[in-house]
Amino acid sequence: MVKKFVMFVTVICVALFFAGVSHAGVVKIGAVQPLSGNLAVYGQGFKMAIDLATAEINAKGGINGKKLEIVYEDGKGTAKDSVAAVRKLIDINKVPLILGPAASTNFLAVAPICENAHVVLIGAESASPAITKAGAYVFRVFPSDKLQGKGVAELVEKLGYKKVPVLYINNDWGKGLKDVFVANFTKKGGKVLAEIPYDQGKTDYRAQLLQIKRFNPKAAVALVYVKDGAVIFKQAYELGIKTQWIAGSAAKSGKLVKLAGKAVEGLTGTYPAFSNTSPAYKAFAAAWKKKYGDKKIGIFAEYNYDMVHLVARALAKGGATPDGIRKALYKVSKGYVGVTGDKTFDSNGDVGSAYGVWSVKDGKIISKR
Amino acid sequence: MTNYFLHILVSGEIIALFAMGLQLEIGETGLYNFGHVAFFGIGAYASSLLSLAGLPFLVSLGLALLITGGVTWLIGIPILRLRGDYFGLAMLGFGEITRKIFLNEAWLTKGPMGLPGIPRPSLFGFDIHTLPRFAVFYGILVILVYLMIRHIVRSPLGRVFTAIRDDELSASAIGKNTYGFRKVCLITGALAAGLAGALWAHYITFISPSDFTLNETILALLIIVLGGNWGITGALVSSFFVIGFQEGLRFLPFPDTFGRYIAPVQQMIFGLILVLLVLNRPGNLIKERPASASD
């Protein structure tokens, strides 16, 4: 036992020694992604997009002639492991910038550490409105839910509905979006009949749906994910709830239509829109296809791709120090139009976004900008 | 470089407090508490909410421990009437219920959004804001709790706990109020977990309900099984070993494509260790060495 332990420690020490060796001519930045655990499905896609952008940057001469290198750490999709991973990147790898973890709760857990250590943290997936105030070193290229909540409220108003109940998934995304929606919708003179949370991953949502049925509303807002959304819309159909369902961005997926079939016919919703006919998008899609073949472009891959390109520009302009990057990020983002549109940071390190409308017609998703 | 090791040390210290509480309950008294994480969460939320409301660190920590103890006392009334596996299952349920309360009582806990900006500890004007200070302060608390629990285990009270674990009927036959003693044990263990939770919250400065899942209890279970016959000392040592092992994996040169399997493989290794331990040394959790060889 003792012998094995000594061997184990030796292996770690040797590994540490090599980890500390840095090569001249390389600019290192860190990335904490959910490479394993329950978000691993997404993490792999984020990593592929980041790798694609990095390869492009290095093919074009890197950062002022130096190679860009990403040090990946596994956040395992939990706050505890994301924090450990960020600590390691800051103290062992001494990176000036970290591409932050997915899921707003993990992102918010690591934000104070980066802020205190004066290391730039930038995210491509976290939508929580709380991140806006997370600190001077915290950025994100993904629009805040504040914008989307407003978008949903505007859509409901535009469709002419005055009274709606809201059904939402009880996590940081659903609740954040619901709060913004309710505030905006009431401000416009609309009335929210009921706010009904539900837990993810159940097989029966009839209790919540019956609450909606009681109001017999003309329209209802459902801020749902794909899998539970499919169950909800199917059971609503079975219960004979005839209403115009209005959803957020997370339900916009061909899989939902496949799972729920005609129960989602006519469903509509909003999503952070970017043109998929712009030259930038076409170039991205072609590059993806060239590197990964027929593998589908992962969720939020476009945001990750834009993020790395922005970071590379900031590194080239401001140098590889946190304060240099922080200042340069504001400058290089000004007017920068990436795959996902205009990425100009406001003073909080947030970006704006246009919102489009999607709906299901004849079993297909139709998006309008 | 040192900061990262200090972070592992601090994580180990927090987990050690958590696991030592569970060791007292399961290892010494035979209370199969599968909802230990509930006390961790109650301590974390209570202390965070109180200090976010403006109370000084020591006051909110003290009140958080009172609340944890009070809640344990209350739920102990019905749950401690159950024995063995029934007790374990009821506690498992209690753990889940607590997490649901954190998730759904949004007026108090902000629900799934979590609590950001929890103040860092400060003792009479002395701020604990840097990692070395955290490591030392939390380390002192770990040593204090360790000495306290060790003292309990070696005292006459500890012998009653052992008697209850080995044969509850006999213990009550010689006039021991086993219900009362089990309650004392549960509350002591819960206090250690509540302290760990509060310290975790003030260290990370952000908590959300997803931090308090069954996984944490399972980690502590693994730690005390690894600790085996060494009792409370074993729990202390193996806490640092397990946390070190988890973090050590980061430095092993796994190929990129293998990355996504590291966490599952780690769980499998832990599972394998558990199975091997139970197969080779049955009775680790339940029986002790004969008294003559004891410390």
CB atoms within 10 A of CB A266: 12
Q: Which A-chain residues 232-291 have CB contacts (< 8 A) with chain B?
A: none
Contact between chains at B263 and A37 (C-beta distance less than 8 A):
yes
Q: Which residue segment(s) compose the domain that B7 sits in? A: 2-293
Two tokens at B275? 């199975």
The number of domains in chain B is 1
Distance CA A237, CA A232 (A): 9
Same domain, A162 and A210: yes
In this prediction, residue B126 carries a pLDDT of 86
Dihedral sign of CA atoms B36, B37, B41, B44 in order = positive
Report if residue A343 sits inside a domain.
no
Contact between chains at A79 and B253 (C-beta distance less than 8 A):
no
User: Is the pLDDT assigned to residue B289 strictly greater than 50?
Assistant: no
Distance from CA of B191 to the nearest CA of A (A): 22
Count interface pairs A-B at CB distance under 8 A: 105
Contact between chains at A176 and B11 (C-beta distance less than 8 A):
no
Interval A143-148 mean pLDDT: 86
b/e per residue, B20-36, with b = 16+ CB within 10 A?
bbbbbbbbbbbbbbbbb
Report if residue A269 sits inside a domain.
yes
In this prediction, residue A176 carries a pLDDT of 84
- pLDDT-derived band at B254 (thresholds 50, 70, 90) equals low
Report if residue A239 sits inside a domain.
yes
Same domain, A312 and A237: no
In this prediction, residue B261 carries a pLDDT of 67
What does the pLDDT look like over A3-31, one tens digit per residue?
665 565 555 555 544 444 445 688 999 99
Tell me the CATH number at A165. Answer: 3.40.50.2300
Report if residue A278 sits inside a domain.
no
Same domain, A211 and A253: yes
Two tokens at B142? 């770990």
User: Is the pLDDT assigned to residue B257 strictly greater than 70?
Assistant: no
Average pLDDT over chain A, rounded to an integer: 87
Candidates B162, B193, B191; CA nearest to B178 is B162
Average pLDDT over chain B, rounded to an integer: 87
In this prediction, residue A20 carries a pLDDT of 44
Candidates B119, B113, B125; CA nearest to B51 is B119
Interval A89-100 mean pLDDT: 92
- Helix, strand or coil, per DSSP, at residue A147: helix
What does the pLDDT look like over A68-77, one tens digit per residue?
999 988 888 8
In this prediction, residue A1 carries a pLDDT of 52
Which residue out of A10, A42, A121, A170 would a mutagenesis test of the B interface target, given it has the greatest number of B Cβ atoms within 10 Å? A170
pTM: 0.80
Same domain, A195 and A47: no
Same domain, A25 and A51: yes
**Contact status of B293 with chain A (Cβ, < 8 Å):** no
CB atoms within 10 A of CB A219: 17
Same domain, A306 and A253: no
- pLDDT-derived band at A297 (thresholds 50, 70, 90) equals confident
Same domain, A266 and A212: yes
The larger pLDDT score, comparing residue B272 to residue B19, is at: B19
Distance from CA of A337 to the nearest CA of B (A): 31
Report if residue A236 sits inside a domain.
yes
Report if residue A295 sits inside a domain.
no
Distance CA B30, CA B83 (A): 10
Same domain, A91 and A153: no
Q: Which residue segment(s) compose the domain that A152 sits in? A: 146-273+355-368
Report if residue A247 sits inside a domain.
yes
The number of domains in chain A is 2
First to last CA, chain A: 64
Beta bridge partners of residue A67, listed in sequence order: A26
What does the pLDDT look like over B20-43, one tens digit per residue?
999 999 988 989 999 999 999 999
Same domain, A21 and A156: no
Contacts of A2 in chain B (CB under 8 A): none
Same domain, A263 and A311: no
Closest-CA residue of chain B to A36: B260
**Contact status of A84 with chain B (Cβ, < 8 Å):** yes
Contacts of A111 in chain B (CB under 8 A): 206
Same domain, A138 and A152: no
Among B3, B116, B261, select the one facing A36 at the smallest CB separation: B261
**Contact status of B262 with chain A (Cβ, < 8 Å):** yes
Contacts of A12 in chain B (CB under 8 A): 248, 251
Same domain, A360 and A211: yes
Q: In percent, how much of chain A has pLDDT > 70?
A: 93
Among B4, B116, B211, select the one facing A91 at the smallest CB separation: B4
What does the pLDDT look like over B88-145, one tens digit per residue?
999 999 999 999 999 988 889 888 888 888 999 988 888 888 889 999 999 999 999 9
User: Is the pLDDT assigned to residue A182 strictly greater than 70?
Assistant: yes
